[in-house]
Amino acid sequence: MNKSLAQRLLSSRAGAAALALRVPVGIIFIAHGAQKLFGLFGGYGLEGTGQWMESIGLTPGYLMALMAGSAEFFGGLALLIGLLVRPAALSLSFAMLVAIFSVHIHNGLFMSNNGYEFGLALLAAAVSLLFSGAGSLSLDQAIARRLGDER
């Protein structure tokens, strides 16, 4: 049987294990995105984050803050609910690569020096979900099954 593009994108053989990765990582990304977009949890919102991004050479700063915040907030939400996990994981992977190489790499590995260790851990989780998919306990898998039944 030939699977549709949607079935290939949404289906996963990861089982329930992906849920254990999706939920905490999704929550972390949602919180960081909410800092950038809405100024929640001690964040600076779009204006402040945009000014900071501009100051480190990511221009235009407001647009960069909007893109990073949206990738984190909406990508994290997608991970949490298990919907469109692979596309979300791709955008989150890209966001983490930008964060690592534009902000943290020159500080070394450790978080205590504002290093890249936390970004690297989030990058690894996002890449893992990109490869594995959302797992059996997800909306992606439920939709993929339904698409398979319709054929």
pLDDT band at 3 (very low <50, low <70, confident <90, very high): confident
CA angle 5, 129, 59 (to 5 degrees): 95
Q: Is residue 151's pLDDT more than 80?
A: no
Q: Quick one: average pLDDT of 29-34?
A: 98
pLDDT, tens only, 52-102: 999 999 999 999 999 999 999 999 999 999 999 999 999 999 999 999 999
Q: Which among 53, 93, 55 is positioned nearest to 71, based on CA atoms?
A: 93
Q: What percent of the chain has pLDDT over 90?
A: 91
Whether 2 has a pLDDT exceeding 90, the answer reads no
- Which of 9-18, 20-29, 123-132 bottoms out in mean pLDDT, i.e. has the lowest? 9-18
Q: Would you say how long the chain is, in residues?
A: 151
